[in-house]
């Protein structure tokens, strides 16, 4: 087992030991074998690391790590000097084709399935290129006029809520760029508005590489990437029907650990646990021969055909990372994210720059996250916090804090079982439910919930704890469980977007017998020839409601007229949730919930259990405290009247 050292002043012709380090990480990545460690020392590494080999097991992996106490940075960009003044605060530079090689982000258009803006038929294309001034990302203008006279304005987008949502930093739109690539020479001329800065004095960079640490081949397994800063990669749009790229990721492999990294300013996605090209490559966008839904359905079966299974794909751990300021996702993945764990990450400002918009934008966006665990993440200031799409079967979302998002959570066209326990959902719009079969246990839900039926997309479900497809079904809404949750209303609820508490489930039956009775009435024609598939039951017990009526399915629940105030404080070491609890709620208590209490979702018939098939007892709270035999509603085991502070460290022991 060898240990290789990397230093910016090293030599790739050296031996690579501590006394004679290599100059590039790529040199070590070409020769490292299972059991080897690559130690990277302080400095900036402008390269695209493409590991040639992987480990063979969790015990014989290849480890790439920062040297103790040092800060290595991998950048997808190059520094650019030699700017000449154009006019006003605009400067320009002409870059040689050799700077980019075969991949020029300023030529590569942003495109793909489910990309909504820019519209490919009516709007100028955007590109993967970007310009950075002292680390600050600029905005692309489709023409030079937008660079000479950049607009500062609120962008109105259809982000799934119908709301008008500003960019995170509208004033930042004054920093604009435009580029033109010469078709004959390959030279790229970039114009950029630097406002009061001199680009030949300040640090100015342009992105030139698609990724920072990403194998070009699939099945490079069991690699650890630890302690790096990575930024400024020209990652492409990554829908579930395309080869998915991240600034760092395994590219269809097994057993990666991505931990303790600072990841920011990816054009689209920072971490990718997704699919590869043979299972789909944006055919809907390119041909429109079939719908995106049909191509995505095919991708699942193509994935199975090339070996998508627990033994060969997924099982990754993404933990203790700080991820921010990316255009599409903090963490993304289709199929390759199955059986993985995403935990203790701080994810924020994802999808808020709004240079482009599509249906795949979220802090965490997974398709087919079978038996995945999403736990103890702090996700905030995103267009959408956590989005679980298609086949969120066996997923467990536990102990997360979501706040100041346009929406905290969305689950789409899945059939359960999905478990959401001990979370804090504190944004005004908490949950867009386009799914069925979810179980909410001991959550704090401080915003509205909307339910939806999806009768025109039949999506797959699986035999328990496998990727084997058992069938397909539509979503008729319901079949959800809410036990021991604490509900309150937002200080400024978004009008028309869902209902507080469980008001969205008004009229839903409370038992399978009630659902079957509705089916029989439908068959007898008593519904006047209306909806052929009534809503499924909702199972409600042990919840408490503040500032809203109790669910009609739970008329005897603890319910107080006053709204419970919820706020969240952030610092470098912890996220703190502050809850002002009414006395009547503080005295509420309910028996523990376990797997047996939750039954099974109607379609999948898989219990709400651990990935290994063992039952769950929800006997610990968000801080790991024992709930005893009975517990308060919400994520804290014991509430007291008045101010309760939930302090969650960002640095728990591994």
pLDDT tens track for 296-343: 999 999 999 999 999 999 999 999 999 999 999 999 999 999 999 999
CA dist 271 and 250 (Å) reads 9
Q: Tell me: do 52 and 186 sit in the same domain.
A: no
Phi-psi region at 247: left, alpha or beta (left = phi > 0; alpha = psi -120 to 50): alpha
Q: What are the tens digits of pLDDT across the range 430-461? A: 999 999 999 999 999 999 999 999 999 999 99
Query: What average pLDDT does the segment 65-88 reach?
Result: 97
CB–CB of 598/608 below 8 Å?
yes
Range scoring the smallest mean pLDDT among 103-112, 138-147, 363-372, 510-519: 510-519
> Where a domain ends, among 169, 187, 207?
207
Residue-number span of the structural domain to which 536 is assigned: 404-654
pLDDT at 1 over 60: yes
The tokens of 332 are what? 């993304």
Q: Which residue has the higher pLDDT, 152 or 470?
A: 470
Mean pLDDT of the chain: 93
Distance of CA 429 to the CA centre of its chain: 17
- Is 193 domain-assigned? yes
CB–CB of 163/406 below 8 Å?
yes
Q: Tell me: do 498 and 575 sit in the same domain.
A: yes
Q: What are the tens digits of pLDDT across the range 35-54? A: 999 999 999 999 999 999 99
pLDDT band with cut points at 50, 70 and 90 for residue 153: low
CA dist 276 and 335 (Å) reads 10
Neighbours of 260 (CB within 10 A): 18
Q: Tell me: do 7 and 120 sit in the same domain.
A: no
Residue with tokens 């933990």: 319
pLDDT at 68 over 50: yes
Q: Tell me: do 185 and 41 sit in the same domain.
A: no
- Is 312 domain-assigned? no
CA dist 400 and 379 (Å) reads 8
Q: What are the tens digits of pLDDT across the range 197-225? A: 999 999 999 999 999 999 999 999 999 99
Exposure pattern of 4-39 as b/e (b: 16+ CB <10 Å)?
bbbbeebeeeeebeeeebbbbbbbbbeebebebbbb
Query: What average pLDDT does the segment 59-83 reach?
Result: 98
Q: Using the 8-state DSSP alphabet, how is residue 623 labeled?
A: T
CATH (domain of 90):
2.60.40.1180
The tokens of 350 are what? 């994802």
Residues 6+ apart with CB under 8 A from 238: 112, 244, 245, 246, 268, 269, 272, 274, 328, 329, 332, 360
Q: Using the 8-state DSSP alphabet, how is residue 562 labeled?
A: S
> Where a domain ends, among 181, 207, 233?
207
The pLDDT, as a whole number, for residue 154 is 54
pLDDT band with cut points at 50, 70 and 90 for residue 491: confident
CATH (domain of 527):
2.160.20.10
Q: Which of 419, 461, 465, 412 is nearest to 440 (CA)?
A: 419
Query: What average pLDDT does the segment 458-486 reach?
Result: 97
Q: Tell me: do 19 and 140 sit in the same domain.
A: no
- Is 396 domain-assigned? no
Q: What are the tens digits of pLDDT across the range 592-628? A: 999 999 999 999 999 999 999 999 999 999 999 999 9
> What is each CA distance from 582 to 48, 585, 587, in whole angstroms?
55, 5, 9
Q: Tell me: do 44 and 172 sit in the same domain.
A: no
The pLDDT, as a whole number, for residue 492 is 72
**Helix H or strand E segment including 147:** helix 145-148
Total-model pTM: 0.95
Q: Which of 42, 47, 38, 29 is nearest to 1 (CA)?
A: 38
CA dist 225 and 255 (Å) reads 12
The tokens of 28 are what? 């070590």
The pLDDT, as a whole number, for residue 524 is 62
pLDDT band with cut points at 50, 70 and 90 for residue 650: confident
CA dist 269 and 212 (Å) reads 12
CA dist 481 and 492 (Å) reads 27
The tokens of 103 are what? 């991949």
Helices (H), 237-395: 283-287, 292-305
The pLDDT, as a whole number, for residue 157 is 46
Q: Tell me: do 575 and 477 sit in the same domain.
A: yes
Q: Tell me: do 515 and 567 sit in the same domain.
A: yes
Q: Tell me: do 56 and 87 sit in the same domain.
A: no
> For the chain, how many residues are written?
654
The pLDDT, as a whole number, for residue 616 is 98
Q: Tell me: do 416 and 540 sit in the same domain.
A: yes
Query: What average pLDDT does the segment 260-285 reach?
Result: 97
Range scoring the smallest mean pLDDT among 37-41, 360-364, 371-375, 488-492: 488-492
CA dist 448 and 488 (Å) reads 9
Q: Tell me: do 460 and 544 sit in the same domain.
A: yes
- Is 294 domain-assigned? no
CB–CB of 97/68 below 8 Å?
no
> Where a domain ends, among 146, 178, 207?
207
- Is 354 domain-assigned? no
Percent of the chain with pLDDT strictly greater than 70: 95
For the chain, percent helix, then strand, then coil, each to nearest 5?
10, 35, 55
- Please give the tally of structural domains in the chain: 3
- 3-state DSSP assignment of residue 55: coil
CA dist 316 and 33 (Å) reads 19
pLDDT at 158 over 80: no
- Is 365 domain-assigned? no
What sign does the dihedral 25-27-31-37 (CA atoms) show? negative
The pLDDT, as a whole number, for residue 167 is 53
Query: What average pLDDT does the segment 155-176 reach?
Result: 61
Q: Tell me: do 50 and 99 sit in the same domain.
A: no
The tokens of 324 are what? 């921010």
Residues 6+ apart with CB under 8 A from 101: none
CA dist 73 and 6 (Å) reads 12
The pLDDT, as a whole number, for residue 113 is 96
Start-to-end CA span in the chain (Å)? 24
| Strand positions, DSSP E, 542-641 | 544-546, 558-560, 565-570, 574-581, 590-591, 630-631
- Is 510 domain-assigned? yes
- Dihedral (Cα; 388, 389, 392, 395), 10-degree rounding: -10
Query: What average pLDDT does the segment 271-281 reach?
Result: 97
> What is each CA distance from 461 to 241, 264, 472, 604, in whole angstroms?
18, 34, 6, 7
pLDDT at 496 over 80: no
Residue with tokens 């495109």: 111
Q: What are the tens digits of pLDDT across the range 511-542? A: 888 888 888 877 665 545 455 678 999 999 99
- Is 460 domain-assigned? yes
């Amino acid at each position: 087992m060898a240990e290789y050292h990397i230093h910016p002043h090293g030599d790739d012709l050296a031996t690579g030991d501590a006394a004679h380090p290599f100059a590039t990480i790529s040199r070590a990545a070409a020769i490292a074998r299972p059991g080897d460690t690559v130690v990277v020392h302080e400095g900036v590494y402008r390269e695209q690391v493409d590991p040639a080999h992987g480990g063979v097991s969790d015990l014989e992996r290849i480890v790439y790590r920062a040297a103790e106490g040092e800060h290595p940075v991998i950048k997808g960009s190059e520094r650019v000097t030699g700017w000449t003044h154009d006019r006003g605060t605009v400067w320009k530079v002409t870059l040689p084709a050799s700077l980019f090689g075969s991949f020029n982000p300023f030529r590569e258009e942003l495109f793909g399935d489910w990309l909504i803006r820019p519209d490919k038929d009516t709007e100028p294309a955007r590109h993967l290129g970007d310009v950075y001034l002292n680390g600050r990302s600029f905005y692309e203008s489709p023409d030079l006029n937008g660079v000479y006279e950049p607009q500062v304005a609120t962008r109105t987008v259809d982000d799934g809520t119908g709301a008008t949502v500003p960019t995170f930093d509208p004033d930042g739109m004054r920093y604009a760029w435009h580029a033109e690539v010469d078709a004959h020479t390959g030279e790229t001329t970039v114009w950029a508005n630097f406002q009061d800065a001199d680009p030949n004095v300040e640090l100015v960079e342009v992105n030139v590489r698609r990724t920072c640490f990403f194998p070009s081949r699939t099945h490079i397994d069991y690699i650890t990437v630890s302690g790096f800063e990575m930024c400024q990669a020209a990652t492409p749009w990554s829908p579930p029907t395309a080869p998915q790229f991240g600034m760092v990721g395994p590219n269809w492999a097994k057993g990666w650990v991505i931990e303790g990294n600072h990841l920011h300013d990816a054009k689209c996605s920072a971490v990718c646990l997704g699919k590869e090209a043979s299972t789909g490559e944006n055919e809907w966008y390119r041909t429109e021969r079939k719908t995106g839904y049909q191509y995505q359905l095919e991708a699942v079966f193509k994935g199975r055909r090339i070996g998508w299974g627990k033994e060969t794909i997924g099982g990754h751990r993404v933990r203790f990372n700080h991820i921010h300021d990316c255009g599409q996702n903090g963490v993304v993945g289709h199929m390759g994210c199955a059986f993985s764990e995403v935990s203790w990450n701080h994810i924020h400002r994802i999808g808020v720059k709004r240079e482009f918009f599509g249906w795949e934008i979220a802090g965490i966006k997974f398709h087919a996250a079978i038996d995945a665990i999403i736990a103890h993440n702090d996700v905030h200031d995103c267009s959408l916090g956590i989005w679980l799409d298609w086949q969120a079967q066996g997923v467990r979302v536990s102990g997360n804090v979501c706040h100041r998002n346009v929406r905290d959570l969305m689950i789409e066209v899945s059939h359960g079982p999905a478990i959401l326990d001990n979370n804090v959902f504190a944004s005004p719009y908490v949950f867009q439910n386009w799914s069925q079969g979810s179980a909410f246990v001991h959550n704090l839900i401080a915003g509205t919930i909307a339910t939806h039926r999806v009768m025109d997309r039949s999506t797959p479900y699986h035999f328990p704890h496998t990727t084997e497809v058992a069938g397909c079904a539509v979503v008729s809404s319901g079949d959800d469980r809410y036990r021991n949750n604490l509900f309150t209303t937002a200080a400024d609820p978004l009008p028309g977007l869902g209902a507080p508490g469980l008001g969205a489930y008004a009229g839903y039956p409370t038992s399978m017998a009630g659902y079957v009775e509705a089916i029989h009435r439908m068959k007898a024609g008593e519904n006047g020839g209306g909806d052929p598939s009534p809503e499924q039951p909702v199972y409600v017990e042990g919840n408490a409601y503040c500032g809203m009526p109790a669910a009609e399915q739970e008329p005897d629940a603890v319910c107080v007229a006053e709204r419970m105030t919820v706020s969240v404080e952030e610092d470098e070491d912890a996220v703190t949730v502050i809850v002002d609890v009414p006395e009547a709620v503080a005295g509420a208590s309910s028996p523990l919930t376990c797997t047996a209490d939750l039954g099974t979702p109607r379609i999948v018939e898989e219990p709400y259990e651990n990935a290994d098939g063992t039952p769950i007892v929800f006997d610990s709270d968000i801080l790991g405290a024992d709930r005893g035999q009975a517990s308060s509603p919400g994520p804290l085991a014991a509430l007291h009247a008045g101010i309760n502070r939930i302090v969650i460290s960002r640095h728990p022991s591994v």
